[in-house]
Amino acid sequence: MTGQQKTEEPTTLGAYLKRLRSEKNISVAEVAARMYLHPSVIDALEQDDHKNLPGSLYVYGYLQHYAKILNVPADQILSMYKKDTSEPREQGTEAPIYEKPDTKEPKKWSYAIIYLALFILVLLSFVFWRGKYAQEPVETTGGPDRTATIVEQPDTPPGQAQSTEMEEAEQETYTADMPVRETEQEPETTPEPAGESQTTRAQQPETPTTTTEAEPGTAPTYEEKTITAGIGPDTVKLVLSIDCWIEIFDADNEKVFYDLARVGQTLVLSGNAPFSVLLGNADAATVEFNNTPFDITPHVTGIGIARFVLGEAE
């Protein structure tokens, strides 16, 4: 009974994945959309076309995601992939196949730990960057409030009020204080102290209202649509038309971007060229290098993945 069940099961991983997908009534296009990949990548996995697939590290990630969609254990899928890729070396031998998953069990767990650590590191750095950037508009709105409290000192003579305001303004590092300082000095040149205090009190409430109304509207749209990262003389710009997984490393093999980019976003990334770039879907983005459009068409593989180098010395 068990022998008949064994012979009925597909002999390769690709056939097994295709059978499970058909049983769950899931199309290739739906799987590709959920994995953010080109449909030809799914076809290559189901046809065991290893020549048109990227390196084994990428395939491990694809298979783990595919197993999650099909609701099957990822360990089983990975062990079948390892058996399929190692079969050519063992033709004509009767070595027991069940020993191979046991010998590579530590590697399997080490890969999972590495992927998890990389994902957590990227996620923490992204959250830290967004939190740091989101605090900048809050700091600039504090400038006009401080100047307003300094102006409201009717008991001091005009000469002393001007000197104290200049000292307070020099200690502030915000550039937004400079125009406020000029508007404060002009009414103080008049000889009547009472008139000065009334005019400055009437003018000061208008300055913070303009800054507080402008900044809350502009900061969220910039965070949602444009992402800037990295420091360096060279710049890579990508405009996304659909969701796409993107990996970019600079000349020092440091990660410039390693995440899922969303439709409508613009990535402005800086660093030291040459940049190694991988696009999970070549149709997803347009690329510029140092403000010059870059044609990725010659670098697109048969399964829709684009891998290329920007700024490489010829």
Task: Show the tokens assigned to 133.
Answer: 């950037």
Which phi and psi (to 5°) does residue 244 adopt? Answer: -155, 140
Question: What whole-number distance in Å separates Cα of residue 20 and Cα of residue 314?
Answer: 48
Residue of 281, 233, 231 lying closest to 256 (CA atoms): 231
**Predicted model pTM:** 0.32
Q: To 10 degrees, the CA torsion angle through 77, 82, 88, 94?
A: -90
> Are 207 and 180 contacting, i.e. CB atoms less than 8 angstroms apart?
yes
Mutual orientation of helices 56-70 and 13-23 as an angle, nearest 10°? Answer: 30
Which phi and psi (to 5°) does residue 281 adopt? Answer: -140, 110
The distance in angstroms from the start CA to the end CA of the chain is 64
- pLDDT score, position 222: 35
- pLDDT score, position 229: 87
- pLDDT score, position 107: 63
Question: What whole-number distance in Å separates Cα of residue 242 and Cα of residue 260?
Answer: 11
Question: What whole-number distance in Å separates Cα of residue 272 and Cα of residue 5?
Answer: 57
Residue spans of beta strands (DSSP E) within the chain = 226-229, 234-240, 244-249, 255-261, 266-271, 275-279, 285-289, 292-294, 306-310
Local mean pLDDT, 10-residue blocks, the chain (314 residues): 46 86 90 89 87 86 89 88 67 41 60 92 91 62 47 49 51 43 43 44 42 37 70 92 93 91 93 92 89 92 89 73
Strands 266-271 and 226-229: parallel
Residue of 252, 294, 295, 259 lying closest to 274 (CA atoms): 252
> Are 303 and 53 contacting, i.e. CB atoms less than 8 angstroms apart?
yes
Q: What is the DSSP letter of 300?
A: B
User: Residue 201's Cα: distance from chain center in Å?
Assistant: 47
Task: Show the tokens assigned to 137.
Answer: 């508009």
